[in-house]
């Protein structure tokens, strides 16, 4: 794995904030991130896609159509 000097770890790192955002999105959409939930279980694709989009949003790299907002 290549060295990433911009990779941060910690409670307020972009990666952690993106994870927390993903958890909030799952809650709003009624998607469970664990098998113990009674809601619809998140797929691997859903988790990876939503986390990647959350990380882009946190880093202000997210592109979106403002008409959809």
CB-facing half-sphere around the CA of 43: CA atoms within 13 A: 3
Average pLDDT over residues 5-27: 86
Residue pLDDT, tens place only, 24-56: 999 999 999 998 867 799 999 999 999 999 999
Per-residue pLDDT, 2: 56
- Which percentage of the chain shows pLDDT scores above 70? 77
Higher per-residue confidence, 68 vs 23: 23
Paired residues of 41 in beta bridges = 32
Write the CA distances from 38 to 13, 26, 30, 59, 68, integer angstroms.
31, 13, 9, 32, 30
CB-CB neighbours of 50 under 10 Å: 19
Structural domain spans, the chain: 14-58
Paired residues of 40 in beta bridges = 31
């Amino acid at each position: 794995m290549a060295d990433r000097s911009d990779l941060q770890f910690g409670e307020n790192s972009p990666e952690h904030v993106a994870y927390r955002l993903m958890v909030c999105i799952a809650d709003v959409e009624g998607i469970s991130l664990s098998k113990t939930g009674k809601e619809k279980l998140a797929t691997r694709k859903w988790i990876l896609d939503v986390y990647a989009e959350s990380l882009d949003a946190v880093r202000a790299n997210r592109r979106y159509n403002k008409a959809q907002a």
